[in-house]
Amino acid sequence: MSEQADAVIIGAGVIGAAIAFEMNKAGYRTLSIDKNPAAGYGPTSGSCAIIRVHYSTLEGTAFAYEGYFYWRDWAEYLEVTDERGLAEFREVGCLVMRTKQNGFLNKHIALCKELGVPFEIWDEAEITKRLPIYDLTSYWPAKQMNDEGFGEPGAGRVESGVFFPTAGYVTDPQLSTHNLQRAAEAKDGRFIFNRRVVEIMQENGRVSGVRLDDNSRVHAPIVVNVAGPASAKINEMAGALGDMTITTRPLRQEVVHVPSPQDFDFFNQAPVISDSDIACYCRPEQGNHILIGSEDPECDQKEWVDDEEYNREFTDQWTLQAYRYAQRVPGLEIPSRLKGVVDLYDVTEDWIPIYDKSMIPGFYMAIGSSGNQYKNAPIAGKMMAALIDYCEKGNDHDEVPLRFELPYTKRSMDVGFYSRKRSINQESSFSVLG
């Protein structure tokens, strides 16, 4: 059995589904293929789905601020209804603690001023007023639980933070991906689930489609790798690794789910919070709960794994993250029954994604995006559609990178920033913060 499409998209996570939507709007008839049973059932479903605008680079900040507007105007962007309803963006803002470790956010503040991103400076009194459960004693540097001095105060206090009002989170990341699927289907996109790509077919020096695990074939002159933690395997399958200076690997992560202290309505009163002093970020969750993730401090060993074979049970990392957050919230109750998420990131050497063509004509990639790119899915989809169109019209993106105008903010971007052939970007945080 064989099918025909203008483009095959490998992966139906939030970015893959956004690319499908944007490519179909641009006139390409796409077929999305995913090994999972539905769109967004891979790492997207485990995402904290935080929408934020602060990044360590000018390009990253501009891209994220552009992305905010699509979530704000989600129904308008989709142009379609979904029988399951639309995902909700809770615009609760994001508070980032100013610490020595992040340069007191002076660079971020300068970037926001340059780009017109709104922000407020909160002093210690304002933070305590908004978050009365917080103790702003400093606990830096982050430690392992068996290290001497774990849980003991460091020097000084966290004295201020930057609050970004154009931020928050999406309550159901899997539903947001289903929304994008329905939007793509309304533009003639198609989706196949429970199927794996086992071969990237090539003919006359370019891709010609894919072969699936049931031996069926999809013929297409364009293949887009958006396979998340499996992206490196897909690149290897295509023979596309030869000229890449930036690569991807799957990284195991745990997110903690704990109840808020009973005397505080965290769900309705707290913003998203990033706190490098305790190496944690968190956000509100339904039922007055808190989701707590790690900001990947140097003392924590990174667990690089195979995307198919890894430990899906909680480990001491869960307890470590909960205890780190309890340093900031002394009244935090840590339940004996561990709840949360164990899933994978797809990570590049500098934690900045690859949105690019490849050395194989017709083969493209939107990879290395886990952990800090969920928020950028709509604009990443739009930019990838423009990049593919640019290259398919005969332009050499490696020699003359596409200039892409961000539709809301009208800022022109050099898409070569996300090149597979770039040098490691030393301005990166080298963490989930991007």
Number of structural domains in the chain: 2
Residue 431 has pLDDT above 90, yes or no: no
Pull the structure tokens for residue 20: 């499908």
Are 342 and 355 in the same domain? no
Residue 14: closest CA among 365, 384, 377, 432: 377
- CA 307/CA 67 separation, integer angstroms: 28
Query: What is the side-by-side order of every strand in the sheet holding 206-212?
Result: 2-4, 217-219, 206-212, 197-203
Residues in contact with 376: Cβ distance below 8 Å, sequence separation at least 6, in sequence order? 15, 63, 64, 67, 369
Are 343 and 355 in the same domain? no
Are 265 and 338 in the same domain? yes
Helix ranges (H only) for 8-157 are: 14-25, 58-72, 74-78, 106-115, 124-130
- Report the share of the chain in percent with pLDDT over 90: 96
Q: Residues 222, 388: contact at Cβ < 8 Å?
A: yes
Pull the structure tokens for residue 261: 């202290």
SS3 assignment, position 225 = strand
Residue 422 has pLDDT above 80, yes or no: yes
- Report the share of the chain in percent with pLDDT over 70: 100
Is the residue at 40 inside a domain?
yes
**pLDDT tens digits along 270-320:** 999 999 999 999 999 999 999 999 999 999 999 999 999 999 999 999 999
Are 402 and 385 in the same domain? yes
- CA 347/CA 363 separation, integer angstroms: 20
Longest distance between any two alpha carbons in the chain, whole Å: 68
- CA 366/CA 378 separation, integer angstroms: 13
Q: Residues 294, 280: contact at Cβ < 8 Å?
A: yes
Are 132 and 203 in the same domain? no
Residue 399 has pLDDT above 90, yes or no: yes
Q: Looking up tokens 């009365």, which residue turns up?
A: 132
Residue 371: per-residue pLDDT: 78
Are 260 and 210 in the same domain? no
- CA 370/CA 389 separation, integer angstroms: 25
- Average of per-residue pLDDT across 95-119: 96
Is the residue at 429 inside a domain?
no
Domain containing 408: what range? Answer: 2-85+172-247+350-418
Residues in contact with 48: Cβ distance below 8 Å, sequence separation at least 6, in sequence order? 169, 255, 281, 283, 291, 293
Last residue of a domain, one of 348, 365, 390: 348
- Average of per-residue pLDDT across 40-52: 95
Residue 337 has pLDDT above 90, yes or no: yes
H or E element that contains 190: strand 190-193
Are 195 and 75 in the same domain? yes
Are 258 and 344 in the same domain? yes
Are 39 and 176 in the same domain? yes
Are 264 and 338 in the same domain? yes
Residue 297: which CATH number?
A: 3.30.9.10
Are 77 and 180 in the same domain? yes
Q: What secondary structure letter does DSSP report for 97?
A: E
Last residue of a domain, one of 301, 325, 348: 348
Amino acid present at 240: A
H or E element that contains 320: helix 316-328
Is the residue at 423 inside a domain?
no
Residue 23: which CATH number?
A: 3.50.50.60
- CA 163/CA 99 separation, integer angstroms: 14
- Exposed e or buried b for every residue in 121-140, given b needs 16+ CB within 10 A? ebeeeebeebbebbbbbbbb
Of the listed ranges 144-153, 231-240, 414-423, the one predicted with least confidence: 144-153
Is the residue at 433 inside a domain?
no
Q: Residues 176, 14: contact at Cβ < 8 Å?
A: yes
Are 159 and 268 in the same domain? yes
- Average of per-residue pLDDT across 65-72: 98
Is the residue at 375 inside a domain?
yes
